[in-house]
Structure 1
Amino acid sequence: MRTQVAIIGSGPAGLLLGQLLHKAGVETVILERKSKDYVLSRIRAGVLEQGTVNLLAEAGVDARLRAEGLSHEGFALGFANRRLRIDLKDLVGKVVTVYGQTEVTRDLMAAREAAGLVTIYEADDVALHDFDGACPRVTWTESGRAQELACDFIAGCDGFHGPSRASLPEGSLQTFERVYPFGWLGVLADVPPCSHELIYAGHDRGFALCSMRSPTRSRYYVQCGADEDLSAWSDERFWDELRARLDPEAAAHVVTGPSIEKSIAPLRSFVAEPLRFGRLFLAGDAAHIVPPTGAKGLNLAASDVHYLAQGFAEHYGERSSAGLDGYSARALARIWKAERFSWWMTSLLHRFADQNSFDRRMQEAEFIYLEGSRAARTALAENYVGLPY
């Protein structure tokens, strides 16, 4: 087999890149080690920046998003039983859209299948070869048989644990990482949300987030230990803990019900530099991880894809290497700003095991400053809706 761009990973980053390149007339093949059903079963966040919505429109996959997505003009920060609304529309003239990452993936998969483009699922033992030369290739096994794909370039969109970054020679890459000493216990339930906008709550008992997927399906989170036993968290215990961390009005509006999904996600900040190695490019979670506080993960992957798709389109359409040559620097400039914002939000709202009374007062002072300063709220809103590409 041969293609122009081999894409490793069929998450939203890989699928969006494939769709944008298809629109630009660039051939792609996507390789995914899991099954299609497994990819669609992964529950992830769903707050989309306007830049991400615009990219999905450019890719031609925004019809269902426009019909079913929830436009949010603000969100709330909670602290010590107080709540502060951040009015995005008023502060920066922009909004965000709530639309689940699973639905984004589903829409991109459907578009790829409708266009007859090749995606190979359950590709075992994926290995990347010769990307430091002119003729890269990818090998894998399919139903026990060895397969090979020749290509011009490889896009590693295969997540934190995928083979793309792991294929790099030792010493070729610098990494920056912070692993947080807690996780998020998330519950998905078919109950109406307690608020029509998201609530990010800091509390002495730990962080909580009230989110939603639709007017009848809610996604809630509470901060927990990174090594917590999920089986110790009954639905009743979760709902009690969630309400204890919210302001009285929000707690009173929590509608409980049986969970349809429950999981614990660890939190880390991670960046790899650079993002280009010969003819291999890293994008999305293969290149960086952000804590989910601030909803930057999928949106940051989308901006990577924007830069990378532009670079490939210029290479094939204009015979210019400028976009690909500048990809790493352009993407990293935005990545580090998003990392800073996610780290700041996480530091503001979570309880840390080694936190002392001074640290707690600093969190309180930050919240009071936000309450009293439009400039501070504007800076928060500007980052939340997404910095320009």
Structure 2
Amino acid sequence: MRTEVAIVGAGPAGLLLSHLLGLAGIESVVVETRSQAHVAARIRAGILEHGSVEVLTDAGLGARLRAEGHRHRGIYLQWPHERHHLDFVALTGRGVWVYGQTELQKDLVAARTAPVFYEVAGTRLHELTSDRPYLTWTAPDGTAQRLDAEVVAGCDGSFGPSRAAVPAGERRTFERTYPYSWLGILAGVAPSTDELIYAWHPNGFALHSMRTPAVSRLYLQVPAGTDPSDWPDERVWSELALRLGDGERGWRLTPGPITDKSVLPMRSLVQAPMRYGRLFLAGDAAHIVPPTGAKGLNLAVADAALLARALTAALRERRWDLADAYSRTALRRAWRSTHFSWWMTTMLHATGDPFDAELQLSQLRWVTSSRAGATGLAENYAGLPLAP
């Protein structure tokens, strides 16, 4: 087989890149290790920045998002006995949208025109420093496959083969692992809040989010290595009620049936550069952020939009200037998002150190009482403009 762009990974970054390239008349083929059902069912991010919604709308992918998603003006920041609303629209003119990654994945699958090969095994990337790179893999029926291309896009997440295809001497990896995780639950109950609640508590951080008017998404800070079975449903709801301030100021947390329970490790990782020869990395293949700042999915959208423009110029106009600048431009955004995610994480997660606790409370009071502090959080959360 031959195509112009070989894409490794059929998650949001890979399918969006394929879609954007298709709009520009550029052929692509996507290969994915997992099954289509597995990729579609992954419960991940649920917040889209203002700029991400613009990218999706311009690409013809915004109809269901705008009909079924929920636009939020801001978030609540909370600590014991206090809750403050930050109105992003009033501060910056930009809000965010609640729209689950599973829903965006459905939109991308429905809109796809390029071939996608699922459940492939042993994907390898070859001749990346030549002008004729190619992929090899084994199909589900056991046959060996080869795909020749002009460019390879690695959109296969943090554990795929693309990142590792960059030789050790050609890459730098920056990583931080946090000493806590998130216990995430999906509950079949209407959200108890109109917008997300980020809560600092001595027992640990808690977040009240949502997926639909009938489905709530909630998180609790737990020690790294926690087993979800250590948290029966009754314990989950009891701790959420405590950390979220159930009963304070007349607000009530409504419990309901828990349909999914999992533990999410917290880490930051950036690999640089995001290009090696004809290989370009995008999304989680290049960077991982803790979910506190709601940046992972949005970085994937930004990378795909930036890379699509660069490859369109390279393959249609034979101008490689945007491709040459891709890594540098994408990394600036990745590091800004990494810093913001670190800042939100360290402000809100309990460490057990009284000194840290007083610093965190001081920071929360400043952010919620200073227009400058609130605007800084709002600018980063709602999303900086996409690079030209």
Category of TM-score, reference length = shorter chain: over 0.9
Q: Given the alignment of the two structures, is residue 99 of structure 1 paired with residue 93 of structure 2, yes or no?
A: no
1:171 aligned counterpart, secondary structure: helix
Aligned to 1:171: 169
- After TM superposition, the structure 1 stretch with the greater mean CA deviation from structure 2, 62-71 or 312-321, is 312-321
Residue type at the aligned position of 2:224 = A
Q: Given the alignment of the two structures, is residue 207 of structure 1 paired with residue 205 of structure 2, yes or no?
A: yes
Aligned to 1:71: 71
Aligned pairs (5 A) from 1:211-230: 211-230=209-228
Residue type at the aligned position of 2:206 = A
Whether the aligned pair in 1 keeps the contact of 2:246 and 2:253 (CA below 8 Å) is: no
2:135 aligned counterpart, secondary structure: strand
Deviation (angstroms), 1:371: 2.4
Deviation (angstroms), 1:258: 1.5
Q: Given the alignment of the two structures, is residue 346 of structure 1 paired with residue 345 of structure 2, yes or no?
A: yes
Residue type at the aligned position of 2:360 = Q
- After TM superposition, the structure 1 stretch with the greater mean CA deviation from structure 2, 317-326 or 246-255, is 246-255
Aligned pairs (5 A) from 1:56-205: 56-112=56-112, 115=113, 117-142=114-139, 143-205=141-203
Aligned pairs (5 A) from 1:1-389: 1-112=1-112, 115=113, 117-142=114-139, 143-249=141-247, 252-352=251-351, 355-389=352-386
- Mapped to 2, the partners of 1:271 and 1:79 lie a distance apart of 31
- After TM superposition, the structure 1 stretch with the greater mean CA deviation from structure 2, 238-247 or 55-64, is 55-64
- Mapped to 1, the partners of 2:171 and 2:287 lie a distance apart of 13
Residue type at the aligned position of 1:24 = A
- Mapped to 1, the partners of 2:2 and 2:95 lie a distance apart of 42
> What is the aligned residue count?
384
Percent identity reads 51
- After TM superposition, the structure 1 stretch with the greater mean CA deviation from structure 2, 33-42 or 165-174, is 165-174
1:271 aligned counterpart, secondary structure: strand
1:126 aligned counterpart, secondary structure: strand
Deviation (angstroms), 1:31: 0.3
Whether the aligned pair in 2 keeps the contact of 1:195 and 1:253 (CA below 8 Å) is: no
- After TM superposition, the structure 1 stretch with the greater mean CA deviation from structure 2, 54-63 or 326-335, is 54-63
- After TM superposition, the structure 1 stretch with the greater mean CA deviation from structure 2, 359-368 or 278-287, is 359-368
- Mapped to 1, the partners of 2:227 and 2:156 lie a distance apart of 28
Whether the aligned pair in 2 keeps the contact of 1:33 and 1:123 (CA below 8 Å) is: yes
2:91 aligned counterpart, secondary structure: helix
Deviation (angstroms), 1:358: 1.6
TM-score, normalised on structure 2?
0.97
Structure 1 spans left out of the alignment, 5+ residues: none
- Mapped to 2, the partners of 1:294 and 1:47 lie a distance apart of 10
- Mapped to 1, the partners of 2:245 and 2:121 lie a distance apart of 49
Deviation (angstroms), 1:252: 4.5
Deviation (angstroms), 1:206: 0.2
- Mapped to 1, the partners of 2:297 and 2:45 lie a distance apart of 8
RMSD: 1.1
- Mapped to 2, the partners of 1:220 and 1:249 lie a distance apart of 18
Structure 2 spans left out of the alignment, 5+ residues: none
Deviation (angstroms), 1:249: 4.6
TM-score, normalised on structure 1?
0.97
1:263 aligned counterpart, secondary structure: strand
Runs of 4+ residues deviating >4 angstroms? 249-252
Deviation (angstroms), 1:50: 1.2
Residue type at the aligned position of 1:289 = I
1:51 aligned counterpart, secondary structure: helix
1:293 aligned counterpart, secondary structure: helix
Residue type at the aligned position of 2:44 = R
